[in-house]
Amino acid sequence: MELRRKIDQMLAYFKSHPSSLVRASVGVSLVIAGVLGPFLPVLGLWMVPMGLVLLSVDFPVARRLSAYLLNCWVSVKGLWRGKNSG
């Protein structure tokens, strides 16, 4: 679970930041930019999970959503690897 460990490290870093307003504004900005990612060349869908991780520090709804998406990603990744190995 390398991805989980990295996300836990990022959460620990952002929890130590004193301003929740900064975390919330950057998190919302990342989610919005990630949604616009397919239409704009510089932005990407990677910004949505990063924004959810930032928002999950302060908001339980974002915490549940990011955990759900992480579990979905792990299961899809496992299915894909299992399909390609056989």
Tell me the per-residue pLDDT of 13-26, one tens digit each, with 9 for 90 and over: 777 777 788 888 88
Nearby residues of 53 by Cβ (< 8 Å), 6 or more positions away:
7, 10, 11, 14, 27, 66
Question: Residues 50-73: pLDDT tens digits?
Answer: 888 888 888 889 888 888 888 888
Say what the alpha-carbon torsion angle 25, 26, 30, 33 is, to the nearest 10 degrees: 60
What pTM was computed for the model?
A: 0.63
The stretches of 1-86 forming alpha helices (DSSP H) are: 2-15, 20-35, 47-56, 60-85
